[in-house]
């Protein structure tokens, strides 16, 4: 391979127009990532009512808050003394199942009239438990993300982000003086973490214990792409190139 053909293709040596193109792209992508981070903080970050992203936020966003219907909260709190523990547990399980109407007709209507309707049905201003619809409203739980929304967000996320990582990785593949194994790993990592991230949403929808995978995924590709971003900008603009100097570049030693 003739050296004159090969060694232009590295970040300290590329021409000004390519440098401007790469830099403009990296700046736009950097800004986009900052805004995305901000948006995540404001939406998912507030899911548990507190600012800042936590495992709880991720659980609320994907799994939902399936243990906190007003009915369940009351049965474990202010209404605790109104029915024995087995009865309360039975009602709670029914609420967590989505308070199905057929079970109301066959069983829970009687349970509630035995324990609750002396007040809920007589006293004004509190929900009437002879009325299925009023019970169902109080039994409603938040099931988190729907399969439909997860499918939509997953494919948009994978296509969009893969595009970004492809070009960030392509630019970084022209970096010099980075050990070959490290370069190849850093280029592959964002894609690996992207899949982990999206997979974790589905797993968290199924079980809240997987929420930490979302944090690992997001942290992983942020770190890998920041490394590529900073290295690329640095090598294009700040790395001193001495005349006639050759760099250890994958494109030359492959
Ligand atoms: C002795 C009367 C009485 C009985 C019996 C009773 N409740 Fe209540 N319940 C009340 C009152 C009064 C309130 C309103 C309390 C408040 O808002 O501070 C209330 C509030 C509630 C709420 C909260 C509603 C909301 O707005 O969030 C739920 C849920 C509830 N009761 C469920 C039950 C269930 C289930 C039973 C039967 C196991 C039951 N209660 C039995 C008097 C009763």
Residues 19-42 pLDDT 10s: 999 999 999 999 988 888 777 777
Greatest Cα pair distance, the chain, in angstroms, is 94
State both tokens at 23. 């830099």
pLDDT band at 4 (very low <50, low <70, confident <90, very high): very low
Residue with CA nearest ligand 1 atom 13: 126
Pocket of ligand 1 (CB under 6 A): 70-71, 74-75, 78-79, 82-83, 115-116, 118-120, 123, 126-127, 138
Q: Which two tokens stand for residue 235?
A: 């090598």
- CA 148, distance to chain mean position in Å, is 16
Of 168, 161, 206, nearest to 186 (Cα)?
168
Question: Is it the case that residue 250 has pLDDT exceeding 90?
Answer: no
In this predicted structure, the answer to whether residue 166 has a pLDDT above a threshold of 90 is yes
Could you read off the pLDDT of 215-242 as tens digits, one per residue?
888 889 889 999 999 999 999 999 877 6
Hey, what are 43's tokens?
A: 């939406």
Average per-residue pLDDT for the chain: 86
Q: What is the mean pLDDT of residues 1-16?
A: 67
**Could you tell me which residue, 248 or 160, shows the higher pLDDT?**
160
What is the average pLDDT across 194-210?
A: 91
> How many of the other CB atoms lie within 10 Å of CB of 1?
10
Q: What share of the chain in percent tops pLDDT 70? A: 90
Pocket test for ligand 1, best of 119, 139, 140, 141 (most atoms within 8 A of CB): 119
Residue 67 pLDDT class (50, 70, 90 cuts): confident
Residue to substitute in 77, 78, 79 for testing ligand 1 pocket (most ligand atoms within 8 angstroms of CB): 79
Any residues with CB less than 8 A from the CB of 253 and at least 6 apart, and which?
A: 180
pLDDT value at residue 246:
67
Write the residue with the smallest CA distance to atom 39 of ligand 1: 116
Ligand 1 centre to CA of 120 (Å) is 7
CB 249 within 8 Å of CB 176:
yes
Radius of gyration of the chain (CA): 28
Q: How many CA atoms lie within 13 A of 207 on its CB side?
A: 4
CA distance 26 to 134: 55
Give the mean pLDDT of 152-178: 92
Ligand 1 midpoint to CA 79 (Å): 6
According to the model, what pLDDT value does residue 245 have? 67
**Core vs surface per residue 60-86: b (16+ CB within 10 A) or e:** bbbbbbbeebebbeebeeebeeebeee
pLDDT score for 56: 80
Whether the pLDDT of residue 7 is over 70: the answer is no
pLDDT reported for residue 254: 41
Handedness of CA 151, 198, 56, 100 (dihedral sign): positive
Mean of pLDDT values over 195-222? 90
Atom number, ligand 1, closest to the C-alpha of residue 118: 5
CA distance 48 to 56: 6
Q: Residue 38 in contact with residue 241, Cβ under 8 Å?
A: no
Which residues are within 8 A (CB) of 115 and not within 5 positions of it... i.e. 6 or more apart? 82, 83, 87
pLDDT in tens, 69-97: 889 989 988 999 999 999 999 999 999 88
């Amino acid at each position: 391979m003739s050296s004159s053909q090969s060694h232009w293709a590295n970040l300290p040596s590329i021409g000004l127009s390519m440098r401007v193109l790469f830099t403009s792209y990296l700046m736009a992508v950097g800004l986009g990532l900052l805004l995305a981070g901000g948006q995540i903080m404001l939406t998912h970050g507030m899911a548990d009512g507190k600012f800042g992203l936590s495992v709880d936020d991720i659980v609320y966003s994907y799994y939902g808050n399936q243990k906190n219907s007003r009915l369940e909260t009351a049965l474990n709190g202010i209404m605790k003394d109104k029915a024995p523990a087995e009865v309360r547990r039975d009602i709670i399980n029914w609420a967590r199942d989505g308070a199905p109407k057929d079970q109301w007709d066959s069983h829970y209507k009687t349970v509630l009239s035995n324990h609750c309707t002396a007040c809920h049905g007589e006293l004004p201003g509190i929900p009437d438990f002879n009325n299925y619809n009023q019970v169902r409203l109080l039994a409603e739980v938040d099931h988190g993300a729907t399969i439909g929304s997860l499918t939509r967000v997953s494919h948009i996320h994978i296509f969009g982000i893969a595009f970004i990582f492809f070009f960030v990785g392509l630019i970084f593949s022209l970096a010099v003086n980075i050990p070959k194994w490290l370069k190849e790993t850093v280029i592959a990592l964002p894609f690996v973490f992207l899949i982990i991230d999206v997979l974790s949403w589905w797993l968290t929808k199924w079980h809240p214990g997987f929420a930490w995978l979302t944090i690992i995924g997001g942290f992983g590709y942020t770190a890998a792409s920041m490394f590529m971003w900073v290295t690329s900008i640095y090598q294009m603009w700040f790395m001193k190139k001495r005349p006639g100097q050759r760099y250890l570049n994958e494109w030359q030693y492959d």
